[in-house]
C-alpha cells in the first residue's frame, strides 16, 4: 500500500469513530432525558401526595398544613424544572449551588444518596423475593412437588388438612 491509501483508511476510521461517538452521545442524552421525564413524573406525584396530606391536615393542624403546602409547591416546582429545563441548564444550576453553598450542597447530596439507596434496596429486595419465589415454584413443579394452580382450585384437599368429620385424621367432638 502507499501513503495515500493509508491516510484514506486512517481518515475513514477516524470518521467512523467520530460518527460512533456522536451517536453514543445522542443516545446517552436521549436516555437521560427519558429518565429525567420519568423522575419529574414521580416527583410530581409526590408533590400531589404531599398537597393532599396538607389538605387533610388543614382542619386539625393548620400550621402543619401550611408547611405541607409550601413543601408541595417546592417539590412541584422541582418537577416542572426537570420537565422543562435542559440537562445543561440543570447542571449549571447545580454547579452554581455547589459553589455558592457547599455545606447545603453536601447535605442535600447525602440526603439524596440515602433516598436513592433506600429506593434501590427496597426494589432490590422486592425483585429478589419475586425471583426467589418464581424459581422455587418452578423447581418444585419440575419435581412434581407443587400442584399447578388449576389443580389446587379443582382439588382443594391438596393443600393443608381438609379432613372431613368422617375421615380418620379429623378431630372428633365430644369424645
Q: What is the pLDDT of residue 163?
A: 47
Q: What is the pLDDT of residue 150?
A: 47
Q: pLDDT, tens digit, for every residue of 17-64?
A: 888 888 888 888 888 888 888 888 888 898 898 888 888 887 788 888
The pLDDT value recorded for residue 132 is: 62
> What 3-state class would DSSP assign to 35?
helix
d(CA 58, CA 65) in angstroms, rounded, equals 5
Full DSSP string of 42-102: HHHHHHHHHHHHHHHHTTT-HHHHHHHHHHHHHHHHHHHHHHHS-HHHHHHHHHHHHHH-H
Q: pTM of the entire structure?
A: 0.49
d(CA 86, CA 116): 22
Amino acid at each position: 500500500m502507499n501513503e495515500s491509501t493509508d491516510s484514506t483508511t486512517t481518515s475513514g476510521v477516524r470518521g467512523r469513530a467520530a460518527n460512533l461517538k456522536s451517536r453514543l452521545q445522542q443516545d446517552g442524552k436521549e436516555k437521560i432525558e427519558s429518565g429525567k421525564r420519568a423522575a419529574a413524573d414521580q416527583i410530581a406525584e409526590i408533590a400531589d401526595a404531599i398537597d393532599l396530606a396538607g389538605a387533610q391536615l388543614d382542619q386539625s393542624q393548620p400550621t402543619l398544613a401550611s408547611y405541607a403546602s409550601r413543601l408541595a409547591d417546592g417539590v412541584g416546582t422541582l418537577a416542572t424544572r426537570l420537565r422543562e429545563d435542559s440537562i445543561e441548564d440543570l447542571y449549571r444550576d447545580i454547579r452554581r449551588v455547589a459553589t455558592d453553598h457547599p455545606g447545603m450542597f453536601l447535605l442535600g447530596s447525602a440526603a439524596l444518596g440515602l433516598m436513592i439507596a433506600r429506593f434501590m434496596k427496597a426494589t432490590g429486595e422486592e425483585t429478589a423475593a419475586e425471583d426467589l419465589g418464581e424459581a422455587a415454584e418452578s423447581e418444585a413443579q419440575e419435581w412434581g412437588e407443587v400442584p399447578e394452580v388449576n389443580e389446587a382450585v379443582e382439588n382443594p384437599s391438596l393443600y393443608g388438612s381438609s379432613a372431613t368429620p368422617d375421615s380418620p385424621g379429623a378431630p372428633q367432638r365430644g369424645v
